[in-house]
Amino acid sequence: MFNFKAIVKILGFLLIVEGIFMLISMLVALLYHGSDVLPLLNSALITLGVGGLAVATMFKAEKRFSKNDGFIIVSLVWIVFSLFGSLPYLLSNSIPRLSDAFFETMSGFTTTGSSVLNDIEALPHGILFWRSLTQWLGGMGIIVLSLAILPVFGIGGMQLFAAEVPGPVPDKLNPRIQQTAKNLWAIYVLFTVVESLLLWAGGMSFFDAINHSFTTMATGGYSTKQASVAYWDSPFIQYVIIFFMVIAGTNFTLSYSALTGKFDKVYKNEEFKYYILFIVIFTAIIFSGLLLTTQLGYEQAFRDTLFQVVSIITTTGYATADYLTWTPFLMVLIFTLFFFGGSAGSTGGGIKIMRIVLLLKNSYYELRRLLHPNAIIPVRFNKRSVSEQIITNVLAFFMIYLMIFFVSTTLFTLIDPDLNSAMGAVATSLGNIGPGLGNYGPAENFSQVPAVGKWFLSFLMLLGRLELFTVLVLFSPAFWKK
């Protein structure tokens, strides 16, 4: 059966980590002499207390845990983190209702970036820092999860990247997982530092620069300003953010290769090629469209386009322009990007470039198979043929993703009867993007959604962030059998 003691112990350990980051936020609050020092301290104490208690009582839990334990832990971590992570909002009265605070925190840890806040600037610095930090931690978590842990469970199609596919015995892999995690976190921190310095140099306050670096690298999209990045009408700042959004939407092992001088790995990587290609194509079409339908100058139209395209395809969700004010054709093109997502192994959400490319290839190959039914024509990716098993997995993922999108949109019309708004809210939550359509565009927020709708969207964020299967498997009777 399940090793509940070990599960509780690990959650406890992770809660201690969360508590430490709350203490760091408290230090920021102290620095600004904010009213949020005590709420953050109390949140940290509660979180550290509960975490410590869990570790202490379960200290002697058997280390050995199964794959099924892994599934439970992964889903629970995000839920438990979001519950405790709501404390700073609740105790500081920044967000007084639980449904709102939980939504904001889950939106943070899943790097979604949808917000219930109507006046972000009114929040004290410590709380704002904590808000950005939830995304930065969520991004860190997802990198480790997608590049070190999920492959062990055979999720995410990462088999394509791993030189050797790790076997199904998680606990033997600890040393390797730890080394991978350390390397990835090192470049994650490095990128964050470099972006902070550049944004600071570009004219942002040091505080805003750090916060935006946190939420860029996580493809999170929380801003310290209600107007998002549009607040800074600086081409330099916007281009810097575009650059780092592209990085954040790239597989971090690829960035690691680039930083260690292995450039051939980068330009031979097919996912990266298509990722850049999609950005170029959508930018070209929308740029032309904006020139034809608006009075914007060339540079402004180009920057607005590139920023919005990169922000959506990487699932960051920052805004420097409101795509809902664009002509419907361009708006729908942006909505199409809701279904792309970042690269596998990046902090980006959504369906992911690798899956999209495999789906497109398989569709084209299916036509060729039709013409030559006796020939064996495997789909090739990164010059290797892809096993039927991975193709079936990717196709099933796509199918389930769209099914959830359809069913959830239908259900959400019970909450908001406007179909476009419902589609947007569901797609943006499931894809961990941030802004939606209709009532939930880049200039709006989710404060008007009733509580039940916020819980529902929070669940979709979790589902999307954990690559569907990880959560869905918990709903399968086979999982709980025996």
CB 220 → K ion: shortest distance, Å? 5
Could you say whether residue 371 binds its own copies (CB under 8 A)? Answer: yes
The residues with which 384 forms a beta bridge, in sequence order, are 381
Closer by beta carbon to K ion, 19 or else 434: 434
Rounded to the nearest angstrom, the gap between the alpha carbon of residue 340 and the centroid of all alpha carbons in its chain is 13
CB 477 → its own copies: shortest distance, Å? 10
Cα 379 to Cα 466: distance, rounded to the nearest angstrom: 26
294 is in an annotated binding site: no
CB 7 → its own copies: shortest distance, Å? 17
Length of the chain: 482
Q: Return the closest-CA partner of residue 343 out of 238, 473, 255, 213.
A: 255
DSSP 333-353: HHHHHTTT---TTSS--SS-H
Structure tokens at 174: 């600890």
Other beta carbons less than 10 A from residue 177's beta carbon: 19
Cα 248 to Cα 129: distance, rounded to the nearest angstrom: 20
320 is in an annotated binding site: no
CB 462 → its own copies: shortest distance, Å? 17
User: Considering only residues 193, 201, 276, 399, which one is a binding residue for its own copies as defined by CB under 8 A?
Assistant: 399
Could you say whether residue 260 binds its own copies (CB under 8 A)? Answer: no
Other beta carbons less than 10 A from residue 23's beta carbon: 15
Could you say whether residue 441 binds K ion (CB under 5 A)? Answer: no
Of residues 125-164, those binding its own copies (CB under 8 A) = 153-155
User: Considering only residues 33, 62, 295, 373, which one is a binding residue for its own copies as defined by CB under 8 A?
Assistant: 373
Could you say whether residue 390 binds its own copies (CB under 8 A)? Answer: no
Could you say whether residue 325 binds its own copies (CB under 8 A)? Answer: no
User: Considering only residues 420, 439, 445, 458, which one is a binding residue for its own copies as defined by CB under 8 A?
Assistant: 420
Cα 396 to Cα 411: distance, rounded to the nearest angstrom: 22
Could you say whether residue 418 binds its own copies (CB under 8 A)? Answer: yes
Q: Return the closest-CA partner of residue 403 out of 327, 460, 457.
A: 460
Picked from K ion, its own copies, none, the partner binding residue 387 (CB below 5 to 8 A depending on kind) is none
DSSP 234-301: -HHHHHHHHHHHHHHTS-HHHHHHHHTT-HHHHHT-HHHHHHHHHHHHHHHHHHHHHHHHS---HHHH
Closer by beta carbon to K ion, 113 or else 441: 113
- The secondary element (H helix, E strand) that includes residue 365 is helix 353-371
Closer by beta carbon to its own copies, 66 or else 226: 66
Number of chain residues interacting with its own copies (CB under 8 A): 57
Residues that bind its own copies (CB under 8 A): 67-68, 153-155, 168, 327-329, 331-333, 336, 339, 359-360, 362-364, 366-371, 373-374, 388, 391-393, 395-400, 402-403, 406-407, 409-411, 413-414, 417-420, 422, 469, 472-473, 476, 478-479
Q: Which residues are annotated as a binding site for K(+)?
A: 111-112, 220, 315-316, 432
